[in-house]
A and B are shown apart, each in its own frame.
Chain A
Amino acid sequence: MARITAGVATSHIPALGVAVDLGKTAEAYWAPAFAGYEWTRAWQAAEAKPDVVILVFNDHATAFDMKLIPTFAIGCAERFVPADEGWGPRPVPVVEGHPDLAWHIAQSLILDEFDMTIINDMDVDHGLTVPLSMNFGTDAAFTTPAAWPCKVIPLAVNVVTFPPPTGNRCWALGEAVARAVASFPEDLNVQIWGTGGMSHQLQGPRAGLINRDWDNGFLDGLIGDSDRLRHVPHIEYLRETGSEGIEMVMWLVMRGALGRETRLLHRHYHVPASNTAVGHIVLEPVA
């Protein structure tokens, strides 16, 4: 049977992708942000070795414009091409999907009363490709591998147009994803990733807001058997972590999928990368 073996959360800041693509990860400004991913890359390559990653992310006016705004959407295609976000596509490998598992999850979620949108054709932006760059590859220079080492199922969440789904709903979706994975007959090592965050605001006179204490409290809340993060209201993310900090509800899909209790494997926090606080955590479910 397929099983969820670990959860990873990471910021998906586009500037991290640019630093990778231009070979700048060792520069003084970027090195501390990237250093916190070295443990994860070694662990992914040597120990974790997922067959499939369910990657929870948001599209940033790339695949979805204002014509269609799905709250939860799952990518069921054979492959997903890195998008041209306006300055040419990132020079990273095409993302291979897992249509059998993706369709199974989509169908299972709908029967479990999560009314998913199904995506059969989508270009993927930095929200999806930057986390892959941060997790995969083995050399110290963060060179992008020739191919990503696993299949990826994109799970897109609307966090751009208000209201996004509640934290509680995201957590419950994660629980339903875990049930769906557990009923897939093939033996697969599946990880679930939550991406985006941490504190950042990209708009208006309040831009540049960072809240180190709140962010670290959020990281704390993902560890162990607490479910207090389910009940953090949207307004708290906005007041405490900036207008774009709301992306952190996507981390709760990951947390919900790990079950009642988690164990911390690795944690990293750094300010700043561009406008944003970098947060990263690796968790495993406690059986």
Chain B
Amino acid sequence: MTDIHAYFAELEDIPGTRVYTGKRAREGYHLNQFAMSLMKADNRARWKADEAAYLADWHLTDEQRKAVLSRDYNRLLDLGGNIYFLAKMFSTDGLSFVQAVSTMTGMSVEDYQAMMVAGGRSAVGQRSIRANAASGDNKGAN
């Protein structure tokens, strides 16, 4: 039997990553369901016409509302957003996955794409917050 506490503690030990756990799924339920509503063309049209008014129909927290309106995707991950649901938002904005994902890395789209073509981001120094702290290497630790 897996130790559930150890299992979930380890999921929080990965640099620059928010694993979509039950805790985040609960916090982000209405946020993700709002994003899901943008799958329908009629809803997309209403959203584009007045984003704040559209959001008024959804039970988001003030922080979630603010992060949605400012397209702060890292903050939305912190507030329970899941990337496949948030994709409905950035797709409605006309952004590809590469364009939207690069905004979370602090890199320009061009630099991000160049990194991918060169083989992607290395896992070295990106595996464990604890291990990085122990080795005094703070790269990507948060």
Contacts and interface: CB of A to CB of B under 8 A. Distances in A.
A82 to B, nearest CB: 14
B82 A160 contact: yes
Contact of B32 (A65, A238, A239, A244): A65
Interface in A218-260: 234-235, 238-241, 243-244
Contacts of A160: 20, 82, 84
Interface residues of B, number: 55
A162 to B, nearest CB: 5
Interface in A46-98: 60-62, 65-67, 84-87
A93 B82 CA distance: 29
Contact of A238 (B17, B33, B106): B17
Interface string B1-23: 01000010011001111111110
B123 A240 contact: yes
Contact of B116 (A14, A205, A206, A208): A208
Contacts of A211: 123
Contact of B101 (A61, A67, A203, A241): A203
A275 B16 CA distance: 16
B136 interface: no
B98 interface: yes
Nearest to A200: B120
Given A84-B39, A205-B105, A238-B17, A162 B119 contact: no
Contacts of B7: 163, 234-235
**B77, B84, B117, B120 interface centre (most CB from chain A within 10 Å):** B120
Contacts of A214: 123
Contacts of A212: 119
Interface in B49-107: 73-74, 77, 82-85, 87-88, 91-92, 96-98, 101-102, 104-106
Nearest to B37: A65
Contacts of A272: 116-117, 119-120
A274 interface: yes
Give chain A's interface secondary structure class.
loop
B74 A66 contact: no
A112 B22 CA distance: 28
B101 A162 contact: no
A238 B19 contact: yes
Contact of B97 (A65, A202, A210): A202
Interface in A192-206: 199, 201-206
Interface in A150-187: 160-163, 166
A65 B20 contact: no
B138 interface: no
Contacts of B32: 61, 65-66
B123 A209 contact: yes
A39 B104 CA distance: 37
B32 to A, nearest CB: 5
Contact of A275 (B2, B11, B97): B97
A202 B123 contact: no
Interface of B: 2, 7, 10-11, 14-22, 25, 29, 32-33, 35-36, 38-39, 44, 73-74, 77, 82-85, 87-88, 91-92, 96-98, 101-102, 104-106, 112, 115-117, 119-123, 126-128, 140, 142
Q: Considering the complex of A and B, which 3 residue pairs feature the smallest CB-CB distances, nearest first? A: A210-B120, A206-B16, A205-B16
Interface of A: 14-15, 60-62, 65-67, 84-87, 160-163, 166, 199, 201-212, 214, 234-235, 238-241, 243-244, 271-272, 274-275, 277
17 contacts: A61-B84, A61-B85, A65-B36, A86-B44, A87-B91, A161-B25, A162-B11, A162-B20, A203-B104, A206-B140, A207-B16, A207-B112, A210-B120, A238-B17, A239-B123, A271-B120, A274-B98
